[in-house]
Amino acid sequence: MAKPDPYMSCRLLIVDDNQPTRLLLREMLKSEGLTGVREASGGAEALRLLETYPFDVVLADMEMPDMSGLDLLRKVRRDGVALNRAIPFVFVTAHANPALVGKARELGVTGYVLKPITIGQVRAKLDLALRQGRALHDSKAKPKPGPEDEAWDL
């Protein structure tokens, strides 16, 4: 019997203030067979969902008006406001500011998807995030940058 694909059963939270971007990501993921997708239109809504549901991965816009993706990541990692403070994060951004990339790496971000978004980019980053999430769950460790982080699309 084949093992279930962790990608297909992934519980993913999309956080983006731009509704068309959320729709694009949701439809891309749906076309790949991923059905456990929820959405938040900003950081405050995402925090409420993260306190309630056991997500496997967060796919978040880095720049949002109410709370940046970096602030959301900081609250999850340092303040422990989510059910899983070690949940893998993947940022979606139109540009990668080196200073922000450094801060995000210090907080344990898994990677980035650069716009324009393709399903290949999203799938690769989610696969990486799910592997990281399983390793963290197995070791109960705090996320730290590792050799796989060197392959970020920046």
What is the average pLDDT value for the chain, to the nearest integer? Answer: 83
Say what the pTM is: 0.82
Range 126-147 burial, b when 16+ CB lie within 10 A, else e: bebbbebbeebeeeeeebeeee
For the stretch 44-53, pLDDT in tens is 999 999 999 9
Positive or negative, the CA dihedral 130, 89, 26, 115 is: negative
**Alpha-carbon dihedral 37, 81, 128, 136, rounded to 10 degrees:** -130
| Whether the predicted pLDDT of 111 surpasses 80 | yes
CA distance 86 to 141: 8
Written as one letter, the residue type at 123 is R
| Whether the predicted pLDDT of 3 surpasses 50 | no
CA distance 33 to 45: 25
For the stretch 25-76, pLDDT in tens is 999 999 988 889 999 999 999 999 999 999 999 999 998 998 999 999 999 9
